[in-house]
């Protein structure tokens, strides 16, 4: 395993990380078997993965609890990344980026993870109702107290990445050292600005959705009904534009002698702005399939062919879980009052 440096933090991480979103109840599609999830985590660590990414909101804390159980006796060898900010209850103050919630949220995550520090503490999604300097100030205190080693952001528009960096410099605060972003062959829009901005500011990147939420597994083909396509959690799989691209990628992968999942993962990790790509394995079989492709690299010719199918900087359709900024969700923010 060739380890990479996470931005300018000095932390060495594997080019593949284990995403723990599917451990626990996870909206009815996750793996609720704690013992099985722990075995998956241990197999990933034994394969050389040293990063596990989770969030307080994944199965409302259950994912963090599973990770904590799995890392007993191995915690110091693992980089734990977790997130906060998404609603944890109906209480309006148990969410967001306020100092009040950050200080409560971090204690909950530390308790569930069974650790006294978090390596990378990430804002799940920026909160337009909280000044970013308020958030950075609270996160700076956590770093100085030793409860957090580095702080990061997730699903952040490039304008807000830049603003957060400037705010940190202006106020002498801890800055976001990482960005977690959706990136795959089908979602290349971040190549235009987000990934270059992360490189410009020396931010490490953790990539989610490298298999486009299952679309690039090779199990989902146009005109074929599968359990995945019927699942309400995977509405995007009905997008025929994305499936049309898959039909072009399958023969490309076959010609190269690769499973489609290995082509898709190797494509993401080939970008110089990518530090580590998350493997969202729910079962041991899925993890083993992904581990088998750890050594795959793509030739320039193969990358050129992918560029012809999906031009750089473009998206094919949209992920269900893609972050949409408030003006896109609230009509009042993009219309003048009458």
User: Hey, which residues are catalytic here?
Assistant: 58
- DSSP-assigned letters across all residues of 218-283: SS--TT---HHHH-GGGGGGG-HHHHHHHHHHHHHHHHTT--HHHHHHHHHHTSTT--EEEE--SS
3-state DSSP call for residue 71? coil
Q: Which neighbouring-strand residues pair with 123?
A: 84
Q: Write down the residue that tokens 């691209």 correspond to.
A: 245
Phi–psi pair at 247, nearest 5 degrees = -65, -25
What burial class does residue 156 get, using C-beta atoms within 10 Å of its C-beta: 0-12 exposed, 13-18 middle, 19+ buried? buried
Pairwise CA distance, residues 270 & 254, whole Å: 19
**Intra-chain end-to-end CA distance of the chain, in Å:** 60
Contact 215, 236 (CB under 8 A): yes
Its sign, for the CA torsion 78, 51, 299, 248, is positive
Q: What is the DSSP letter of 172?
A: T
Locate 159 and state its tokens: 């304008």
Locate 76 and state its tokens: 């110091």
Strand 4-5 to 12-13 pairing: antiparallel
């Amino acid at each position: 395993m060739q380890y990479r440096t996470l931005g300018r933090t000095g932390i060495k991480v594997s080019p593949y990380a284990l995403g723990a979103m599917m451990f626990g109840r996870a909206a009815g599609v996750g793996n609720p078997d704690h013992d099985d999830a722990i075995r998956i985590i241990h197999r990933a660590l034994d394969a050389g993965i040293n990063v596990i990414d989770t969030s307080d909101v994944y199965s409302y804390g259950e994912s963090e609890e599973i990770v904590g159980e799995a890392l007993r006796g191995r915690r110091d060898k693992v980089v734990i990344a977790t997130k906060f900010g998404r609603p944890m209850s109906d209480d309006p103050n148990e969410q967001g980026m306020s100092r009040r919630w950050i200080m409560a949220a971090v204690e909950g995550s530390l308790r569930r993870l069974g650790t006294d520090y978090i390596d990378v503490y990430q804002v799940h999604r920026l909160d337009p109702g909280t000044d970013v300097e308020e958030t950075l100030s609270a996160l700076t205190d956590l770093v100085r107290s030793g409860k957090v080693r580095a702080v990061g952001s997730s699903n952040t528009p490039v304008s807000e990445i830049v603003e957060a960096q400037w705010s940190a410099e202006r106020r002498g605060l801890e800055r976001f050292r990482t960005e977690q972003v959706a990136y795959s062959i089908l979602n290349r829009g971040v190549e235009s600005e987000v990934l270059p901005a992360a490189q410009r500011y020396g931010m490490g990147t953790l990539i989610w959705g490298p298999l486009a939420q299952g679309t690039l597994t090779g199990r989902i083909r146009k005109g074929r009904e599968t359990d995945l396509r019927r699942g309400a959690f995977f509405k995007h799989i009905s997008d025929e534009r994305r499936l049309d691209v898959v039909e072009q990628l399958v023969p490309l992968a076959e010609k190269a002698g690769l499973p489609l999942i290995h082509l898709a993962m190797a494509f993401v990790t080939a970008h110089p702005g990518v530090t580590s790509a998350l493997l969202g394995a729910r079962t041991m079989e899925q993890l083993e399939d992904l581990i088998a492709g750890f050594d795959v690299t793509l030739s320039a010719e193969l990358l050129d062919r992918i560029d012809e199918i999906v031009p750089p900087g473009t998206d094919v359709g949209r992920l269900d879980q893609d972050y949409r900024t408030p003006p896109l969700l609230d009509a009042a923010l993009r219309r003048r009052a009458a």
